[in-house]
Amino acid sequence: MIKKLIRRILGVGSDASTTTQAKRFGPEAHGINPDDVSPNAVRVTQALQKAGYKAFIVGGAVRDLVLGLKPKDFDVATDATPEEVKRLFRRAFIIGRRFQIVHVMFGQELIEVTTFRGSSTDDAPKDAHGRVLRDNTFGEQHEDAARRDFTINAMYYDPSQQVVLDYHGGMKDIRARMLRIIGTPEARYREDPVRLLRVVRFAAKLEFKIAPATRAPMAVMAPLINNVPAARVFDEMLKLLMSGHAMACLQRLRKEGLHHGLLPLLDVVLEQPLGEKFVTLALANTDERVRQGKPVSPGFLFAALLWHQVLERWEAYRAAGEFPIPSLHLAADDVLDGQTEKLALQRRIATDMRDIWAMQPRFERRIGKSPYKLLEHPRMRAGYDFLLLRCASGEIESEIGQWWTDFIDADGQEREALLQRKPAQETAAAPKKRRRRGGRGRNQTRSESAD
């Protein structure tokens, strides 16, 4: 408390800038279109202001509105405590341990409301590396601005007055297309190493340059990510991969030296022609779906990213004499076990990945009742889309994908005709050939499916 009082009196903070006065930008200066603002976010700010509290739309929503982009979600910052916020709204829930926030629900839309955070990080529990473990200290608006990560995310928009408050030159950096961390970069990265990944995501997504001082310590401090709980790393990686600029983000991760330990062996995959083409196609497909507002399956995305690691181990097990299907399951176990520790893949996502991988050899069995049974699989569409990626990358013959496209679209008689087109000995002989021939490499599946 004494340290907090001294900082309040002297107007100083530990590692972040201590600007107490904000620049005000009116509608002509910030250019925000009020029609682009969520009516529910406006409703939350108005309810808080009517109750006598300060309330602003804050963070990424303000940044995107200024850039003329459509915000994915809206956050509100206020001087009301979580309990005071909760009392104002019928469907409001306090969550969080590291820092309490309130989720206010309006149908399917969630408005996240945070109380202005104070600057007393010295008193907050930290780990041996300086990462803040828990900090529920509330404070003034200028302290809250200093606690935010980047200047472009530290602007506050009051929809009732259509005014933007800017404490750290965020508007200037937006115009210069510059990403700059608030305060001392080394200290801010130690507080929360996930900021290292956020730098990459925002720089790639917004096509911003990274300020030299912000970028300088990144490679040296990259190992700090290993101290972050795996679940938080997974959440940030998912945001990165589903940002609509996934390939650009991964390339930037490699450029900044941040990829080690996040997706092990990704470099090896991207250095192989088939692997690079497959991953590029998968991420381009994901980016396009995000831009079109279509849903994206995390299971499909991670199944694609890790497929060539599975494929490599699958071939190794077959070369050692394992049967094809059991060897595929062993390969999947190896890859998932290696990733779970780092990325905390949720069980549901891991199950989806296994299903997609396990279906791939079944697509080669185009005889009898096997294709009909595969059509009934709950993950059939994802497995089929995955098959088409393999065909497009050149991993297997495109004829297999075309056959399944025709089979899915055909009626009963047409399907029987398609089944008659394929020789029955193809799938019966393939497993024996694979076991006898051993490790012939990645083209094994393609050549045998054409026999």
Which residue matches tokens 């200024």? 66
Closest CA to 177 of 215, 203, 216: 203
Options 15, 64, 75, 144, the catalytic residue: 75
Given a contact cutoff of 8 angstroms between Cβ atoms, the answer to whether 203 and 252 are in contact is: yes
- Annotated active-site residue 406? The verdict is no
Options 73, 334, 355, 385, the catalytic residue: 73
Given a contact cutoff of 8 angstroms between Cβ atoms, the answer to whether 211 and 178 are in contact is: yes
Chain-centroid distance, C-alpha 163: 31
- Annotated active-site residue 385? The verdict is no
Options 15, 144, 149, 352, the catalytic residue: 149
Q: CA–CA separation, 170 vs 179, rounded Å?
A: 9
SS (H, E, C) the chain: CHHHHHHHHHCCCCCCCCCCCCEEECHHHHCCCHHHCCHHHHHHHHHHHHCCCCEEEECHHHHHHHHCCCCCCCEEEECCCHHHHHHHCCCEEEECCCCCEEEEEECCEEEEEEECECCCHHHCCECCCCCECCCCCECCHHHHHHHCCEHHHCEEEECCCCEEEECCCHHHHHHHCEECECCCHHHHHHHCCHHHHHHHHHHHHHCCEECHHHHCCHHHHHHHHHHCCHHHHHHHHHHHHCCCCHHHHHHHHHHCCCCCCCCCCHHHHHCCHHHHHHHHHHHHHHHHHHHCCCCCCHHHHHHHHHHHHHHHHHHHHHHCCCCHHHHHHHHHHHHHHHHHHHHCCCHHHHHHHHHHHHHHHHCCCCCCCHHHHHHCCCCHHHHHHHHHHHHHHCCCCHHHHHHHHHHHHCCHHHHHHHHHHCCCHHHHHHHHHHHHHCCCCCCHHHHHHCC
- Annotated active-site residue 75? The verdict is yes
Closest CA to 345 of 262, 255, 250, 226: 262
Question: What's the CA dihedral at 103, 140, 202, 170 to 10 degrees?
Answer: 140
Known catalytic residues? 73, 75, 149
